[in-house]
Amino acid sequence: MISQKAGDAGAIFSSTAFDRHEEVIFCTDAGSGLRAIIAIHDTNLGPALGGCRMWPYETENDAIADVHRLSRAMSSKNALARLSTGGGKSVIIGDPDRDKSEALFHAFGRSVENFGGRYIVAEDVGTAVEDMTQIRSRTSHVMGFSAREGSSGDPSPVTAYGVFCGLKAAVEFRFGRAELSGLRVAVQGIGHVGYQLCKYLHEAGAKLLVSDIHGAAVARAEADFGACAVAGDDIYSQDVDVFAPCALGAELNSRTIPQLRAQVVAGAANNQLECAEDGAKLAARNILYAPDYVVNAGGVINLSYERESGYERDKAMAHTAEIVLDIFGRAEREGRPTSEIADDMAQELLGASGQAVDELT
């Protein structure tokens, strides 16, 4: 295991994805084949809480960039959700359909344990409740494991609920309507969160267009919600009111933004903007963007309630329902992209916390 801390020399620190991270750990285990990276971005608000993504990255540099961006976003997400947790994330390089094993997650759990509680892991893309349960056999610093063992279980439904609430707030701000009946929504990615979001939207009377790299996921949405299937990249150019990216990141970029016909973008995917300038490109086209780490905070809000004595889902859901995007009004008043406003608000909270910590030490 190799540890690189902020202040050391190395090519990683000149990366555009690196943003004053406190610590980055590279984890390997020959017996299980584990290759993982754990990144702690900021612990001013508390121990770093963030999921573990398992994905077959094309290159190791892709994995490094992803974990940096994801952990940085977790700091902002947890701050704006008013949680007493900092930002961190982890990635395991591998195919979640072929490379999972008990030994691999045990090895990963030992790596998490080495942080002594500074990093708390949960599920993310490519990992599930049963994987967290295996990790828990090697560390107590894990959340989202089996509900039978006292955890909150799968956080995806709460994440989806938060996205649904944020989407509703965006629709009300842009269109002046509180109801979603008849609203046309294009959902990209029908995984755990995307499917649950479709369920909420369907129950609210929205008309769904869906796409996913997995045909079975699309077929399920067609059967359960009467959704209309859209092939691949055609999802961007659909004549809809809302585009909801719920797959992987960087889907909003110089290639896709010009194709959008939606007036609102609100989805569950992390790091939806390929670069910071893409927020301004959306604003220039008068597309209202609900910043991803604001509206997809429901899962981590839910997990935060596991830290309290006696998890109560109703409290977590109530907190999630309070996702109110005053970001929209501030962006309109200041004539700036919503992405910039969200970043500034997060930095204000993190900076104030950091100043308080500095004064005490």
- Going from the first residue of the chain to its last (361 residues), give the mean pLDDT of each consecutive group of 10, the final group possibly shorter: 42 66 95 97 94 95 92 92 93 97 98 96 92 95 79 82 94 95 97 95 98 95 97 95 93 96 96 93 96 91 77 83 84 95 89 43 26
pLDDT of residue 10: 45
Superfamily of domain 156-298+323-347: NAD(P)-binding Rossmann-like Domain (3.40.50.720)
Contacts of 54 (CB under 8 A, 6+ apart): 91, 92, 94, 95, 96, 99, 100, 124, 125, 126, 127, 131
The catalytic residues are: 89
Q: pTM for the complete prediction?
A: 0.81
Contacts of 47 (CB under 8 A, 6+ apart): 85, 86, 117, 118, 119, 120, 141
Q: Are 32 and 101 in contact (CB under 8 A)?
A: yes
Residue type, 352: A
Half-sphere exposure of 350 (CA within 13 A, CB side): 23
Per the DSSP assignment, residues forming a β-bridge with 190 are none
pLDDT of residue 12: 66
Q: Are 41 and 48 in contact (CB under 8 A)?
A: yes
Residue type, 28: T
Strands 34-42 and 86-93: antiparallel
Taking each helix axis from N to C terminus, what angle separates 313-321 and 156-175, rounded to the nearest 10 degrees? 20
pLDDT of residue 46: 93
Half-sphere exposure of 288 (CA within 13 A, CB side): 23
Beta strands in the chain (DSSP E): 2-5, 23-29, 34-42, 48-55, 86-93, 119-123, 184-188, 207-211, 228-229, 242-245, 264-265, 288-289
| Domain 2-65+87-149, CATH class in plain words | alpha beta
pLDDT of residue 154: 80
Contacts of 284 (CB under 8 A, 6+ apart): none
Residues of the chain with CATH 3.40.50.10860: 2-65+87-149
Residues of the chain with CATH 3.40.50.720: 156-298+323-347
